[in-house]
Chain A
Amino acid sequence: MADRIAFHYFPANSPLHRWDARCKFFGLLIVTVTLLQSKISWLILDSVILLSLLTVSGLSLIRFIRDLRTWGFLLFILFLFQTLFTPGRPLPLLPWLPISAEGFNLGILTFWRLGLILGFSILFTAVTRPRELRDTLVWLLKPLPFLPARRIGLMVSLTLRFFSLILDQSEEVRLAHKARSGDRNKNPLRRAKFLGLPILRRSFSQAEDVAFALAARGYRDDIPLQLPKLKLTHLTPLLILFGLLMITR
């Protein structure tokens, strides 16, 4: 198993772990909306919130940053792309560079914004049990008619669980492939077969185990949902965040 935080639940007893999953979910949605505005003030505030929540959660900051580093390369390519291909004035300090001031600013904003979206999502899955997320979705979808809310909730939590499992497996298969000098073959079709097939085979085998485990535990769509009443103390941080969003609109 890879030593990653990304999209894994990390059991602990921090206030963030104990915070009602419904509030965490709506908190994540509000944060996503604030980040879409691409305002510097919100980016700074969201960064402070993320760092504070990370400290409260008790998760290792070093491991968290190391996880984000995996995506750092991807974000850096996006940054380069926006910097190089956005027309505008040359940079005042480095006019000989083939990048524009507008492109540089846009690149920084995109890098920052996407980094924060990833950071909040990783934190959310690290402090929320898959079962809690499933129950939150069932609670949200239940009022909608003709939708199998429990099944959808189960599928979403399974998707996130498989997502982290596939990332772990891909790393294991890639290392095993490299150890056998498989990375020297540059043919994409052969590589896809020798890398993709073991990952797919393992994934389907694990999915089959999950299906059996669910059947063995008597999974049913019609089990009533039992969630505690939302407490005001849990709602308060959410209301403050929502109020801030409304004020700055």
Chain B
Amino acid sequence: MPIEKLRPTVFASLMAALTAVGAYIQIPIGPVPIVLSTLFVLLSGLVLGGRWGLVSMALYLFVGAIGMPVFSGGRGGMAHFLGPTGGYLLGYALASWLSGTISERFRGILVWDIVAVTIGSLTIYGLGLPWLKAVTQMSWSRAFLVGMAPFLIGDGVKASVALILARAVRPILKRQMVMG
């Protein structure tokens, strides 16, 4: 198989591994903990693009589903998807695809990268919040207070870091691809 086809395969595995490492850096503040994974979810889309970002997140979810402890706090297994944070996990794949697709379409333009990470961050809540509400039988306002409000400032920081890292890593990747 040519290197051009193998490279995204390997890079998607790397992003899945980084997301798993991010899940270990967590602060438990309720049914939904603050985790660093979301940074790598956005970064995977920004660096790999929509399609491979989606592949990397699907891979991360698959590795967790087969029992490896890659979800927040060293959890793993299929049952984790049915728990209160299951929607957030599925949101990772959609967020990575969306942010990647937007960023890919307007490559190099900072404003569109900001739009991409904002939409990506909100997508995680778009799936996570209704799921949390359904599983825990909370009201919408309570679900918002527990599952979204405490994370918004942190998400802003994580999205900014994802942007900084993506814009620093892209030239390295481009150089590697030219040399390869």
- Footprint of B on A, CB under 8 Å? 25, 28-29, 32-33, 36, 71, 74-75, 77-78, 81, 114, 117-118, 121, 137, 151-152, 154-156, 158-163, 165-167, 170, 188-189, 192-193, 196-197, 200-201, 203-205, 207-208, 210-212, 214-215, 218-221
Contact = CB atoms under 8 A, between A and B. Distances in A.
Interface stretch (B100-108, B123-131, B136-144, B166-174): B166-174
A193 B169 CA distance: 11
A28 B68 CA distance: 9
B55 to A, nearest CB: 8
Given A75-B74, A211-B11, A220-B1, 17 more contacts: A75-B73, A114-B74, A117-B69, A121-B69, A156-B59, A156-B62, A158-B10, A158-B14, A159-B17, A159-B60, A163-B21, A189-B164, A193-B164, A193-B165, A200-B168, A211-B3, A211-B180
Given A117-B69, A166-B18, A207-B14, A192 B164 contact: yes
A39 B83 CA distance: 18
Contacts of A201: 169, 172
Interface of B: 1-3, 6-7, 9-14, 16-18, 20-21, 24, 26-29, 59-60, 62-63, 66-70, 73-77, 79, 157, 160-161, 164-165, 168-169, 172-173, 176, 180
B13 A155 contact: yes
A207 B15 CA distance: 10
Given A154-B9, A166-B18, A188-B157, A36 B79 contact: yes
Given A117-B74, A118-B74, A207-B11, A215 B169 contact: no
A236 B24 CA distance: 35
Given A28-B67, A189-B160, A211-B3, A204 B11 contact: yes
Nearest to A77: B28
A25 B164 CA distance: 39
Contacts of B169: 197, 200-201, 204
B3 A215 contact: yes
> Does more than half of chain B's interface fall in helix, strand or loop, or is it mixed?
helix
Contacts of B68: 121, 160
Contacts of B173: 204
Nearest to A200: B169
B176 A74 contact: no
Shortest beta-carbon contacts, A-B, top 9: A162-B17, A158-B13, A211-B10, A192-B161, A163-B17, A215-B3, A207-B14, A159-B16, A32-B77
